C-alpha cells in the first residue's frame, strides 16, 4: 500500500525540487524516507555497497538551510546514489573489487564535487560489476543486485546498483558509467532512464578507469527531465581531464519541450539480430510508431559495420583495461598479498585481488597488445573502429537521431549467462557502437515483455544530447511507462 514515504521515494527530482522550494517537504524528510527504504529493502536488493546515512543527513540539513536562505542550487536536497567507481573522500571507493576493499580516495571525482556544489544529498556508493566489467552486476566481488521488478532477474550491468536503486525508489537520481552500455543496458532492464553523454561531455577525473577512450559518466533518473537536470549539473570541461571538451553546456532540461515535427529519426536495419526477444521487438516497433505519430519523419539508415562492433569492443576495451589496471599491484593503494619477491608479490596481489571477469579481460587485453599480435588485434580493432564511426558520420547526413532497442532481451535470470562469457557480452550488442563512435545515447522505458521493462535506445549526434533528450521526453510524455514502478515490499 502506498504510504507517504513511498510517495517521497518515487517522487521525480523536478517535483521534489518544487516541493522543497515551497517548503512542503524538507530535504531531511526526503533523505530519511530514502534511508528508511534502503534499511528495509536493500538487504534483499543489494543496490548499495556503502550507505552514507550520517553524511547524507548532514548534507540534507545543509540543504534545508540553503533552501531556507533562499539560495538553492538545482539539485539541492535531492537524494543521489553514486556508482562505486566514482571517487569520494567521505566513503570508501571499491569499484566492486576486493583489491580496493577499504580504499579511501584522497580527492572527490569532479562529478562528485559538482554534485556537492549543486547541493545534492549523497545516499551511498552503489553496487557495480568489478571495475565496471559486466552486463549483469554478477561480477561484483561483494554481492549481486536483484532487479526490483522481479527478484530472480539481474538488474543489468555494470551499473546495476544505480539502476536498481532508482527503479526501486532507493534513490531519486544516480550516476553511473558507460563503457559499452553500462548505463543504458541496466536502465533498460530496470525500466528507468539512463544517459551516456557524448565522449568528452563529462569529466572522467576521479572515475576509476576501465577503458579510457570509451568510458563516460552519466545520469540515471525516472524521467527524462530529471536526467537532463542531472546531466546539466555534471557536464562541462574540467582542467583535470584533458579529454573533457570545451563546448558550451545548454540547460538540457529547459530545451525539452516542443513537438517532433521536422525531426528525422533513423531506423538502422542492422539493429535486428538473431535471438531478439519477440516482446522486445513488439515494444520497440510500437515505440517507433508512436514517434512517427508525434510528428517525426522515419528514415531508414544503414550502419553496415554494426555486426563488427562487439568484436572490436572486446579487443579495444580489454586492451585499455589491461593498461589501466596495471596500477593495482599492492604498493600505492589497495590490498596486498606479501610474497618473498616483488614480482611474486605483484602476481599474488593481482591473482588473489581480481575476480574472474577482470582477469579474463586483463588477459585478453594483454594478449591483444603483446608482441606479434598487436597489429592483428589491437590495430585491426582501431581500424574497424574508424569504419563504425564513419557509419554514424554518414547517417547524420540524413537523420537527427537514431532509434533502436537498448538490448535484444529483457532482464535475464541471475546465473543464466555466467558460464559463457560471450553470451554475457551479447547483452551489449546494441549499446557498444555508441561508445566506439563516442556519440551520446539514452535508454528510456518503452513497455514490458513478460512483465519486465523494455528499453528504447535513442542515439544522437556528438554533443547534441539536446535533440536526443527532446525526442526521449516527447515519447515519455505520450506514454504511461515512466509512471509505473515495481511493487517493492520489504521486511519493515
Partner 1 sequence: MTLSRADVEHVAALARLGLTTDEVETLREQLSSILDHIAMLDRLDTATIPPTAQVIPLTNVLRDDEERPSLPRAAVLANAPRQTDGFFEVHAVLGGADGEEA
Residues in contact with 3: Cβ distance below 8 Å, sequence separation at least 6, in sequence order: none
Percent composition of the chain: helix, strand, coil (DSSP 3-state, to 5): 45, 15, 40
C-beta of 423 vs 477, nearer to partner 1:
423
C-beta of 65 vs 342, nearer to partner 1:
342
CA-based nearest residue to 82, from 93, 73, 71: 93
C-beta of 261 vs 332, nearer to partner 1:
332
Closest approach, Cβ 312 to partner 1, in A, equals 7
> C-alpha grid cell for residue 206?
576521479
C-beta of 149 vs 313, nearer to partner 1:
313
Closest approach, Cβ 102 to partner 1, in A, equals 8
Beta bridge partners of 457: 404, 443
| Catalytic machinery residues | 83, 158, 182
Closest approach, Cβ 429 to partner 1, in A, equals 12
**Cα–Cα distance measured from residue 455 to residue 466, given in angstroms and rounded to the nearest whole number:** 19
Closest approach, Cβ 460 to partner 1, in A, equals 14
CA-based nearest residue to 314, from 471, 130, 55, 135: 135
**C-alpha distance from residue 250 to each of 16, 205, 231 (Å):** 22, 21, 10
- Tell me the three state secondary structure of residue 140: coil
Closest approach, Cβ 315 to partner 1, in A, equals 6
**Cα–Cα distance measured from residue 208 to residue 210, given in angstroms and rounded to the nearest whole number:** 7
Closest approach, Cβ 175 to partner 1, in A, equals 21
**Cα–Cα distance measured from residue 411 to residue 164, given in angstroms and rounded to the nearest whole number:** 12
C-beta of 145 vs 381, nearer to partner 1:
381
**C-alpha distance from residue 445 to each of 55, 185, 304, 307 (Å):** 32, 11, 27, 25
The DSSP code sequence of 394-442 is: HHTTT-SEEEEES-SSSPPBTTSSSS-HHHHHGGGTTTHHHHHHT--EE
Name the site residues for partner 1 (rule: CB under 8 A): 103-104, 106-107, 199-200, 213, 239, 242-243, 245, 305, 307-308, 310-312, 314-315, 322, 326, 329-336, 340-348, 350-352, 354, 356, 359-360, 362-364, 366-367, 370, 377, 379-387, 389, 421-422, 437-438, 462
Positive or negative torsion for Cα 138, 456, 271, 229 = negative
**Cα–Cα distance measured from residue 150 to residue 490, given in angstroms and rounded to the nearest whole number:** 13
C-beta of 176 vs 440, nearer to partner 1:
440
**Cα–Cα distance measured from residue 454 to residue 184, given in angstroms and rounded to the nearest whole number:** 11
C-beta of 249 vs 478, nearer to partner 1:
249
Contact 243, 199 (CB under 8 A): yes
Beta bridge partners of 445: 455
**Cα–Cα distance measured from residue 267 to residue 286, given in angstroms and rounded to the nearest whole number:** 13
**First-residue to last-residue Cα distance in the chain:** 13
> C-alpha grid cell for residue 116?
556537492
Closest approach, Cβ 402 to partner 1, in A, equals 17
C-beta of 6 vs 418, nearer to partner 1:
418
> C-alpha grid cell for residue 441?
545515447
> C-alpha grid cell for residue 101?
576493499
> C-alpha grid cell for residue 383?
581500424
| Phi, psi torsion values for 74, nearest 5 degrees | -55, -30
Closest approach, Cβ 136 to partner 1, in A, equals 17
Closest approach, Cβ 165 to partner 1, in A, equals 27
Positive or negative torsion for Cα 42, 43, 46, 51 = positive
C-beta of 382 vs 467, nearer to partner 1:
382
Amino acid at each position: 500500500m502506498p504510504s507517504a514515504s513511498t510517495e517521497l521515494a518515487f517522487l521525480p527530482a523536478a517535483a521534489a525540487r518544487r516541493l522543497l522550494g515551497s517548503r512542503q517537504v524538507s530535504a531531511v524528510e526526503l533523505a530519511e524516507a530514502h534511508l528508511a527504504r534502503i534499511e528495509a529493502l536493500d538487504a534483499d536488493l543489494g543496490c548499495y555497497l556503502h550507505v552514507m546515512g550520517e553524511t547524507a543527513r548532514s548534507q540534507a540539513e545543509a540543504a534545508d538551510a540553503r533552501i531556507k536562505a533562499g539560495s538553492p542550487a538545482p539539485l539541492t536536497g535531492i537524494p543521489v546514489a553514486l556508482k562505486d567507481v566514482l571517487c569520494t573522500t567521505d566513503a570508501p571507493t571499491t569499484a566492486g573489487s576486493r583489491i580496493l576493499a577499504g580504499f579511501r580516495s584522497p580527492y572527490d571525482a569532479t562529478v562528485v564535487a559538482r554534485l556537492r556544489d549543486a547541493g545534492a544529498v549523497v545516499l551511498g556508493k552503489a553496487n557495480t560489476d568489478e571495475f565496471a566489467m559486466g552486463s549483469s552486476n554478477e561480477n561484483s566481488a561483494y554481492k549481486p543486485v536483484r532487479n526490483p521488478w522481479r527478484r530472480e532477474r539481474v538488474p543489468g550491468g555494470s551499473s546495476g546498483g544505480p539502476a536498481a536503486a532508482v527503479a526501486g525508489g532507493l534513490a531519486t537520481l544516480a550516476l553511473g558509467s558507460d563503457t559499452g552500455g553500462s548505463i543504458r543496458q541496466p536502465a533498460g532492464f530496470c525500466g528507468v532512464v539512463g544517459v551516456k553523454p557524448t565522449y568528452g561531455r563529462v569529466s572522467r577525473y576521479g572515475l576509476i578507469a576501465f577503458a579510457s577512450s570509451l568510458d563516460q559518466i552519466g545520469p540515471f533518473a525516472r524521467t527524462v527531465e530529471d536526467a537532463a537536470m542531472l546531466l546539466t549539473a555534471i557536464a562541462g570541461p574540467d582542467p583535470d581531464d584533458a579529454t573533457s571538451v570545451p563546448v558550451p553546456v545548454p540547460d538540457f532540461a529547459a530545451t525539452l519541450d516542443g513537438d517532433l515535427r521536422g525531426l528525422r529519426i533513423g531506423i538502422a536495419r542492422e539493429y535486428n539480430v538473431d535471438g531478439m526477444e519477440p516482446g522486445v521487438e513488439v515494444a520497440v516497433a510500437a515505440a517507433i510508431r508512436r514517434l512517427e505519430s508525434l510528428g517525426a519523419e522515419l528514415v531508414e539508415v544503414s550502419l553496415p559495420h554494426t555486426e563488427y562492433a562487439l568484436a572490436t569492443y572486446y579487443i579495444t576495451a580489454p586492451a585499455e583495461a589491461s593498461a589501466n589496471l596495471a596500477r593495482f599491484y599492492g604498493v600505492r593503494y589497495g590490498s596486498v598479498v606479501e610474497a618473498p619477491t616483488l614480482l611474486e608479490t605483484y602476481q599474488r596481489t593481482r591473482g588473489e585481488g581480481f575476480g574472474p571477469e577482470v582477469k579474463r579481460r586483463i588477459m585478453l587485453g594483454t594478449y591483444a597488445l603483446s608482441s606479434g599480435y598487436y597489429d592483428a588485434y589491437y590495430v585491426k580493432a582501431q581500424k574497424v573502429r574508424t569504419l563504425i564511426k564513419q557509419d554514424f558520420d554518414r547517417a547524420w547526413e540524413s537523420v537527427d537521431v537514431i532509434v533502436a532497442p537498448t538490448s535484444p532481451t529483457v532482464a535475464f535470470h541471475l546465473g543464466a549467462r555466467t558460464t559463457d562469457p560471450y553470451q554475457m557480452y551479447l547483452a551489449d550488442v546494441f549499446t557498444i557502437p555508441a561508445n566506439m563512435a563516442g556519440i551520446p545515447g539514452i535508454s528510456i522505458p518503452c513497455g514490458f515483455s513478460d512483465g519486465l521493462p523494455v528499453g528504447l535506445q535513442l542515439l544522437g549526434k556528438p554533443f547534441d544530447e539536446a535533440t536526443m533528450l527532446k525526442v526521449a521526453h516527447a515519447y515519455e510524455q505520450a506514454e504511461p511507462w515512466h509512471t509505473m514502478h515495481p511493487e517493492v515490499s520489504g521486511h519493515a
